[in-house]
Amino acid sequence: MRKIEIVVEDVSATAVLAENRTAEAIWDALPFTGQANRWGDEIYFETPVQLVQADDARALVEPGELGYWPMGRAFCIFWGPTPASEAEEPRAYSPVNVFGRLEGDPAVFDGVQSGAAVRVEQA
């Protein structure tokens, strides 16, 4: 089981990666840094990974799921409603490749603002 650590300023969370091509590409690119963008209860940031949309990509995600957004080469962390949501569910702007899930409460990212430095590394 592959785990990663996501650190944004004073917030740190561990996530378990799925067994899929996107998770493998993210793992192989570690460590990397980015700059957080906030979109409702989602943060996303550009990665060095470049992939196409997976066959099982989806816009509707679960709180705590990690997605890769092919349009922006972005790593996305979801924990609540976004501007695209129809209710309280997290919904991506467009389909994402789901590649992992946070351990613990994903709302730890509530205080993260756009512009914050993000670091992702092997746990």
For residues 63-74, one letter each, b for 16 or more C-beta atoms within 10 angstroms of the residue's C-beta and e for the rest, the string is bbbbbbbbebeb
Which pLDDT band, with edges at 50, 70 and 90, does 31 fall under? very high
What would the pLDDT profile of 60-113 be if each residue is shown by its tens digit? Answer: 999 999 999 999 999 999 999 999 999 999 999 999 999 999 999 999 999 999
Name the amino acid, one letter, at 120.
V
Nearest by Cα to 79 from 62, 96, 95, 92? 62
Q: Where are the domains of the chain?
A: 3-122
User: Confidence band (pLDDT; 50, 70, 90) for 55?
Assistant: very high
3-122 has which fold? Cyclophilin (2.40.100)
Alpha-carbon distance of 39 to 114, in angstroms, equals 9
11-29 per-position pLDDT tens digit: 999 999 999 999 999 999 9
